């Protein structure tokens, strides 16, 4: 036995444990210390490995792939700052509950804290951002394989149990890291086990109390917030029917696409609730994370006479509005099914009027987004709603894209998987997350601002390398358009330099750097043509839509005002 062979055996056992627990995709980043892990991933074909060079991008790529497939995605990296570069994606994965497994190669303990090359304190580096982390022993002679295999399986369990999330497996390796080719064992077959997903029934005691309160609710409201993998649409729609409750559906809830015509789903509320507040609900039932809509969060905080109920998995708590909710712990489907048995008492017309107001507001928003003036950023989503094929993925960047998604996408009957990095709301890694989602195979469109585009250019490399079915729509408004809606916009001198920060880059030249096809859509027919051509043959493609930040503020305000007028008319205000 020699060190290199021991490394191989241990690394293969670890990868075997991951495969046995249901892992099917992985990300590899380059480096030397991680060599045994890289060979263990490259020498088998149960888990498909993707190479991504930059670890920050790779972390988000793993996040996007794990979110899309619902399975944990391990990412192997070398020691040192490589590990720290995973942090943004780990932080997002923690908050948005995505199972990413950092396999971080390390020096053996005797080389830590003694000035050895490429060695940082990386043990438990991610602190409370991971569900579990372990520093494995240095592989040596003797029966280490069982322990490494168990660590792989356990990493998956920790990433999927209760609240899904990231984990870190730190793996120290001694040199020599790998045997010469003549002695290196060839391909091997790890066990391809399947993933088991825990389901949580709702406990009887809070359920009885909540059901009692719900029985007398006259104006019940369901809020479907953002949820990784989407909330279970059918149980929620059945619940809405039995309660006579409308559902305010966040664009990231899974209820904005693939829902049947006539479903009691409101999708325009962010635009009209700000100026036409509805009669206060007396029972608010929340699923998923806090909504993207700031207006809705503010209203929630003000509905202090209502009973607030928060449904979440055991250990989850996502309520930043101070409503002091009753918490019903369990799987959303189990909770919805249990509550659907409660006999309803909703006021006649309560749901119908809100739905009618919302439909009128939606029509007004659609019309406003199609006004023939300056290119309007919101229209990107009205167009994509109609253009993306069934089963595609739509990723919205943070900043204005996710807000425009909320306001201007509306609803569609054909299925579409809509995601965004809304755990930590970073503008880093937006395109890499989309690239990772695209690696799962479905055509994937990402809408990203120009500053966010610059932040994550390396994603274009991964898109080209893996020939991903990825459409990048860059909304180029020459800086951070979102800041125009904030008080700092009034500080005109400081604003452009320190907040708007126009990057002054040409997305077309960035695309050229990566040999990717590019088009600047100068009109909406041209935009449609570009997207339609991509739908015919999905492959990496960058489309730029140039807009004017200032003009877009005014256009948003006009659209919101039109939505509010339409809703007010229905509600007789």
- Site residues for ligand TPP per CB under 6 A: 398-400, 425-428, 449-452, 477, 480-482
Least Cβ distance, residue 190 to ligand TPP (angstroms):
36
Q: Which stretch binds Mg ion (CB under 5 A): 73-81, 264-272, 319-327, 444-452?
A: 444-452
Least Cβ distance, residue 80 to ligand TPP (angstroms):
22
Structure tokens at 36: 């045994």
Residue nearest to ligand TPP (CB): 449
Name which of ligand TPP, Mg ion, none residue 119 binds, using a CB cut-off of 5 to 8 Å depending on partner kind. none
Our finding on whether 507 is near Mg ion (CB under 5 A) is: no
Q: Which is nearer to Mg ion, 230 or 449 (CB)?
A: 449
Counting beta carbons within 10 angstroms of the beta carbon of residue 189, is it exposed (0 to 12), middle (13 to 18) or buried (19 or more)? exposed
Q: Which stretch binds Mg ion (CB under 5 A): 154-162, 203-211, 443-451, 485-493?
A: 443-451
The beta strands (E) that lie in 97-233 are given as 100-106, 132-135, 167-172, 220-224
For residue 23, give every residue at least 6 positions away whose Cβ sits within 8 Å of its Cβ, in sequence order, or none: 47, 71, 72, 73, 74, 101, 156
Our finding on whether 57 is near Mg ion (CB under 5 A) is: no
What's the chain's Rg over C-alpha atoms? 25
Dihedral sign from CA coordinates of 509, 512, 513, 516: positive
Q: Which is nearer to ligand TPP, 307 or 396 (CB)?
A: 396
Name which of Mg ion, ligand TPP, none residue 358 binds, using a CB cut-off of 5 to 8 Å depending on partner kind. none
Our finding on whether 419 is near Mg ion (CB under 5 A) is: no
DSSP 400-461: HHHHHHHHH---BSS-EEEE--TTT--STTHHHHHHHHHTTSS-EEEEEEHHHHHHTTTHHH
Least Cβ distance, residue 484 to Mg ion (angstroms):
10
Q: 334: closest CA among 309, 312, 308, 307?
A: 312
Counting beta carbons within 10 angstroms of the beta carbon of residue 345, is it exposed (0 to 12), middle (13 to 18) or buried (19 or more)? middle
Least Cβ distance, residue 401 to ligand TPP (angstroms):
6
Q: Which is nearer to ligand TPP, 89 or 437 (CB)?
A: 89
Our finding on whether 449 is near Mg ion (CB under 5 A) is: yes
Our finding on whether 450 is near Mg ion (CB under 5 A) is: yes
Name which of Mg ion, ligand TPP, none residue 155 binds, using a CB cut-off of 5 to 8 Å depending on partner kind. none
Q: Which is nearer to Mg ion, 50 or 483 (CB)?
A: 483
Tell me if residue 210 falls in helix, strand or coil. Answer: helix
Q: Which is nearer to ligand TPP, 100 or 339 (CB)?
A: 100
CA–CA distance, 520 with 305 (Å, rounded to integer): 51
Structure tokens at 506: 């040409």
Our finding on whether 544 is near Mg ion (CB under 5 A) is: no
Angle at 492 between CA 490 and CA 498, to 5 degrees: 105
Dihedral sign from CA coordinates of 355, 226, 434, 162: negative
Least Cβ distance, residue 481 to Mg ion (angstroms):
5
Least Cβ distance, residue 428 to ligand TPP (angstroms):
4
Least Cβ distance, residue 252 to ligand TPP (angstroms):
16
Q: Which is nearer to Mg ion, 426 or 538 (CB)?
A: 426
Q: Which is nearer to ligand TPP, 153 or 399 (CB)?
A: 399
What are the beta bridge partners of residue 32?
none
Name which of Mg ion, ligand TPP, none residue 531 binds, using a CB cut-off of 5 to 8 Å depending on partner kind. none
Name which of Mg ion, ligand TPP, none residue 433 binds, using a CB cut-off of 5 to 8 Å depending on partner kind. none
Name which of Mg ion, ligand TPP, none residue 228 binds, using a CB cut-off of 5 to 8 Å depending on partner kind. none
CA–CA distance, 167 with 160 (Å, rounded to integer): 10
Our finding on whether 552 is near Mg ion (CB under 5 A) is: no
CA–CA distance, 316 with 334 (Å, rounded to integer): 15
Our finding on whether 104 is near Mg ion (CB under 5 A) is: no
Q: Which is nearer to Mg ion, 427 or 438 (CB)?
A: 427
Q: Which is nearer to ligand TPP, 324 or 509 (CB)?
A: 509
- The CA-atom distances, in angstroms, between 507 and each of 358, 374, 378, 457 are 37, 20, 20, 10
Our finding on whether 377 is near Mg ion (CB under 5 A) is: no
Q: How far apart are the first and last CA of the chain?
A: 82
Q: Which stretch binds Mg ion (CB under 5 A): 69-77, 379-387, 449-457, 496-504?
A: 449-457
Q: Which is nearer to ligand TPP, 382 or 452 (CB)?
A: 452
Distance of CA 115 to the CA centre of its chain: 39
For residue 227, give every residue at least 6 positions away whose Cβ sits within 8 Å of its Cβ, in sequence order, or none: 252, 253, 254, 287, 288, 289, 332
Least Cβ distance, residue 448 to Mg ion (angstroms):
9
CA–CA distance, 563 with 276 (Å, rounded to integer): 10
Least Cβ distance, residue 423 to ligand TPP (angstroms):
12
Name which of ligand TPP, Mg ion, none residue 64 binds, using a CB cut-off of 5 to 8 Å depending on partner kind. none
Contact yes or no for 180/2 (Cβ under 8 A): no
Name which of ligand TPP, Mg ion, none residue 428 binds, using a CB cut-off of 5 to 8 Å depending on partner kind. ligand TPP
Q: Which is nearer to ligand TPP, 41 or 470 (CB)?
A: 470
CA–CA distance, 287 with 331 (Å, rounded to integer): 10
CA–CA distance, 196 with 399 (Å, rounded to integer): 36
Among 44, 104, 407, 477, binds Mg ion (CB under 5 A): 477
Q: Which stretch binds Mg ion (CB under 5 A): 192-200, 202-210, 476-484, 504-512?
A: 476-484
Least Cβ distance, residue 557 to Mg ion (angstroms):
18
Contact yes or no for 44/19 (Cβ under 8 A): yes
CA–CA distance, 292 with 420 (Å, rounded to integer): 10
- The CA-atom distances, in angstroms, between 3 and each of 11, 381, 543 are 12, 55, 51
Least Cβ distance, residue 483 to Mg ion (angstroms):
9
Name which of Mg ion, ligand TPP, none residue 472 binds, using a CB cut-off of 5 to 8 Å depending on partner kind. none
Name which of ligand TPP, Mg ion, none residue 248 binds, using a CB cut-off of 5 to 8 Å depending on partner kind. none
**Residue ranges that bind Mg ion, judged by CB under 5 A:** 449-450, 477, 481
């Amino acid at each position: 036995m020699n060190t290199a062979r021991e490394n191989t055996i241990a690394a293969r056992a670890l990868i075997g444990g991951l495969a046995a627990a249901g892992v099917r995709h992985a990300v590899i980043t380059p480096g030397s210390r991680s060599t045994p892990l890289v060979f263990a991933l490259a020498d088998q074909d149960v888990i498909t490995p993707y190479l991504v060079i930059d670890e920050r991008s790779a972390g988000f790529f793993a996040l996007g792939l794990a979110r899309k497939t619902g399975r944990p995605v391990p990412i192997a990296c070398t020691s040192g700052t490589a590990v720290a570069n995973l942090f943004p994606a780990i932080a997002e994965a923690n908050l948005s509950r995505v199972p990413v497994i950092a396999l971080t190669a390390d020096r053996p303990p005797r080389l830590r804290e003694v000035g050895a090359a490429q060695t940082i304190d990386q043990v438990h580096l991610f602190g409370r951002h991971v569900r579990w982390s372990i520093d494995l022993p240095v592989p040596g002679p003797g029966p280490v394989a069982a322990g490494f295999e168990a660590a792989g399986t356990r990493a998956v369990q920790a990433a999927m149990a209760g609240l899904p999330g990231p984990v870190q497996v730190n793996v120290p390796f001694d040199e020599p890291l790998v045997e010469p080719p003549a002695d290196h064992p060839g391909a091997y077959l790890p066990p391809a086990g399947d993933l088991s997903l825990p389901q949580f029934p709702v406990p009887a005691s809070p359920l009885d109390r909540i059901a009692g309160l719900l029985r007398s609710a006259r104006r019940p409201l369901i809020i479907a917030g953002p949820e990784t993998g989407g909330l279970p649409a059918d149980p929620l729609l059945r619940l809405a029917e039995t309660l006579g409750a409308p559902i305010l559906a966040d664009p990231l809830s899974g209820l904005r696409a693939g829902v049947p015509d006539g479903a009691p789903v409101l999708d325009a509320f962010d635009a009209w609730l700000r100026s036409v507040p509805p009669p206060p609900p007396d029972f608010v039932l929340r699923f998923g994370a806090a909504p993207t809509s700031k207006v809705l969060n503010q209203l929630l905080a003000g509905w202090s006479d209502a009973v607030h109920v928060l449904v979440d998995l055991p250990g989850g708590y996502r309520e930043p509005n101070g409503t002091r909710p009753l918490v019903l712990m369990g799987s959303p489907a189990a909770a919805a099914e249990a509550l659907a048995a409660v006999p309803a008492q909703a006021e006649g017309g309560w749901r119908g009027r809100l739905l009618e107001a919302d439909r009128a507001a939606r029509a007004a928003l659609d019309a406003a987004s199609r006004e023939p003036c300056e290119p309007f950023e919101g229209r990107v989503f009205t167009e994509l709603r109609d253009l993306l094929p069934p089963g595609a993925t739509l990723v919205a960047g943070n900043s204005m894209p996710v807000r425009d998604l909320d306001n201007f996408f509306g609803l569609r009957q054909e299925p579409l998987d809509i995601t965004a990095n809304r755990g930590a709301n970073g503008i880093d890694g937006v395109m890499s997350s989309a690239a990772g989602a695209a690696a799962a195979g479905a055509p994937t469109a990402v809408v990203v601002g120009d500053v966010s585009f610059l932040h994550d250019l390396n994603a274009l490399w991964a898109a080209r390398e893996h020939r991903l079915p990825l459409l990048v729509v860059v909304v180029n408004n020459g800086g951070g358009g979102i800041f125009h809606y904030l008080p700092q916009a009034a500080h005109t001198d400081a604003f452009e330099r320190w907040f708007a920060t126009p990057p002054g880059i040409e997305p077309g030249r960035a695309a050229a750097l990566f040999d990717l096809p590019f088009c600047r859509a100068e009109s909406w027919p041209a935009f449609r043509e570009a997207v339609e051509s991509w739908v015919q043959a999905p492959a990496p493609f960058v489309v730029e839509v140039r807009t004017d930040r200032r003009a877009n503020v005014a256009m948003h305000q006009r659209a919101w005002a039109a939505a509010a007028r339409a809703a007010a008319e229905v509600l007789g205000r």
